[in-house]
Structure 1
């Protein structure tokens, strides 16, 4: 919100002009004659009052629609990062790019993606920032301005139901030294085979412990090739650290 508030007036004017060009039907219906609405006009001119109203509306929306689900959102993004990091360690950049969602295809030296319009983005020696997004669905997103640092926003892998269920019978199954050791072993992310090796239990036992912790909302599991990767949710990390909350980024 502070970054939005600090956006220079000329940048706002340019971006809103692009919006008016790309959505003429909407603009004409609301503003008439192909010009932006009064609110868009005042935003484009850099006036602080409508920008403050916009920020207040966004904050209100965040409190109502995002904040209550933030632990699950954060857990999904962190699990995706762990999955991509494991791919990078296992096979380098080629393996990392090959594990991105199915709408993105790595055909060296070109990364292709399904997109609403035909366009090309040339890196020209610049790096590409991969940004997992919980809300990105269907197709990835890139900046319209080719001069901005290259960023590819792509959908995270959704694992189904929210990772944080309410209290239930699983609470009684969370006690015991073995399950505590399993939780500690998953701290930095691991596969089921690695979990069994770190805790000294059988592969079947490691899988069962991970399943119980996942049902309790303490662990998130994503498939990685022929194996699965387990990571802690913020709740699991908080429990492991004696109730201290996991710092949110």
Structure 2
């Protein structure tokens, strides 16, 4: 997958052998990725400085660390794990994308790195992630979540623009002019001579064949374009939503006030201890023991110990499903949390 393209005349090429089939995906995770690249990874693509600073101030240290390889100078290729639920699957809500990252087994990132770069050629900027994949996946999920907390209000305000863009794509497709539509996405994308060209610092060439093209409008800087041209089932192109530049001119989002969840966690910690409080709060849905250990950064033995204590207090339940052990909050635990949330 190609990350945000640079200001260069070097371009990747997508050869169009027939009239492409074009659709739209409303997947806000690409907006979050574009903002992560611009505000955290140093790949500046047009965000106002005030927004860039305000968003960076929201993101946890683990998120800043995970974002670094995405914007490495001279590179645009990133592993598919950066977008675990791709737009060709349909509209992808932000929560589902975050859950997919937090539940992803570490070896998936290793496989995606090997697929992107070759098993013996993982570049230096991705080696820390390859060495500790579970840490990178967790940190990257944190970065997306923190960025989304700042951008989501703007995304809601952009709904009329998104609806207008969906209609524009539909009209162009019905009128049989998808090439004109593709050429109008952004100045970094050019459609001419039977090919689509996308500015890229690591150029490559592909045949579209009979794959569809999925367009993903983003709230992002005016020069932000993210593409995946090599997917077996579809090509997708994420681009700035037309008309959205005015939204960035509003005052930058302030630093967040302490969340009610932080108060709940503090009060719950006094009752059951900090680790078990984090464990209970993390179980907003049933999870496997391995996924929960990764999310909480706990060794399996330590997690089992704390789960046993909470199980004895009738606050969690365990269930074996095949080879996996699932853990969930009990109704008693939910009632306890409700007391602290009042």
With the length of structure 1 as denominator, give the TM-score of the two structures: 0.47
With the length of structure 2 as denominator, give the TM-score of the two structures: 0.36
Q: Which has the higher contact order (CA 8 A, sep 6+)?
A: 2
